[in-house]
Structure 1
Amino acid sequence: MRGRASRGEYWWAMLLCLLIEAVVMLVTQAGDAIIWHDASGDGPLSTWVVFIVELVLLVPTVTIGVRRLHDENLNGWWILLPLAFLLAFMVIGAVSISDPNRIMVAGLLVSLLMGAAYLTSQIVLFVLPANPRGSRFDDSRNRQ
């Protein structure tokens, strides 16, 4: 993947994705409440439609993130760092909740730490200023 994205381009794209997800969640939860009388947000409509929307938005989210990292002169593979923290957060949270007798307190503390690490890595990676050396990621056809 080539090219770069400015801070503004990245954050406006993230805001658009967030708004799309929020609208879809509200509409599908209303649909679940009306059709299946399930206002909990766990009905079939909200579950599947939100899942499909998340999958559709995954590609543009990852591509704009990689382009943002390129603008900071970082390799696009750095996008996996926040995803690793998020995955660890989800796994540890699921294990500690599913078996309360296991590592309940320790699991929740580690889960909270992983969540904080995820948010911190997101902020640090995507708020850094542009680096002129990031032009190495530009498409060679567009260079002058």
Structure 2
Amino acid sequence: MNWYLEVFRKYTVFTGRSRRAEYWWFILINMIIAFILGFIDGFSGTFNEQFGLGLLSGIYMLVILIPSIAVAIRRLHDTGRSGWWMLILFVPLIGGLVFLVFMLLPSEAGENKWGPNPIEQGAQPA
């Protein structure tokens, strides 16, 4: 849970680097929360089939939009890539696969132009 909260502490930080653990724990917890909110939306009748979202899950998606972009950009920086690589997601199918591979790659060793390696610094969430 600390990795999840760490992303929200740095919700507008688009510089620096994020470890794989920070990114993937954030994604996992978001998926769990989205599933629970979707269930609540469906059960309470606030789910809108036209949009594919319910009231609670829609609000949650808006809340996590900027932190999700920020942590993905920091994760790209950690692999030695510019945040502009996120635009590859607009390429159907292939873009998503390439982005997934980037998120799975290990950290670039040592310091790069976005800062020191968070693993070598022993970065653990507080």
CA distance in 2, matches of 1:133, 1:28: 46
Residue in 2 that maps onto 1:10: 23
Gaps of at least 5 residues in structure 2 are 1-13, 122-126
Change (3 A) 1:134 1:125: farther
Helix, strand or coil: the match of 1:132?
A: coil
Match of 1:121 among 71, 92, 98: 98
Would you say how many aligned residue pairs link Structure 1 and Structure 2?
A: 103
TM-score (normalised: structure 1):
0.61
Partner deviation per Cα, 1:23-55 (whole Å, 9 max, x = no partner): 1111111000xxx8xxx76289x5333222111
CA distance in 2, matches of 1:132, 1:30: 48
User: Which deviates more, 23-32 or 124-133?
Assistant: 124-133
- Give 1:81 deviation, angstroms: 1.0
Helix, strand or coil: the match of 2:80?
A: coil
1:3 touches 1:67 (CA, 8 Å); kept in 2? yes
- Give 1:118 deviation, angstroms: 3.9
Change (3 A) 1:18 1:76: same
Residue in 1 that maps onto 2:112: 135
Opposite residue 54 of structure 1, the aligned amino acid is M
- Give 1:127 deviation, angstroms: 1.0
Opposite residue 54 of structure 2, the aligned amino acid is T
Helix, strand or coil: the match of 2:106?
A: coil
Change (3 A) 1:134 1:64: farther
TM-score (normalised: structure 2):
0.69
Higher helix fraction (1 or 2): 1
Match of 1:79 among 57, 76, 86: 86
The structure that has the greater radius of gyration is: 1
Opposite residue 101 of structure 2, the aligned amino acid is V
Helix, strand or coil: the match of 2:17?
A: coil
1:74 touches 1:134 (CA, 8 Å); kept in 2? no
1:73 touches 1:134 (CA, 8 Å); kept in 2? no
Residue in 2 that maps onto 1:52: 59
Gaps of at least 5 residues in structure 1 are 86-113
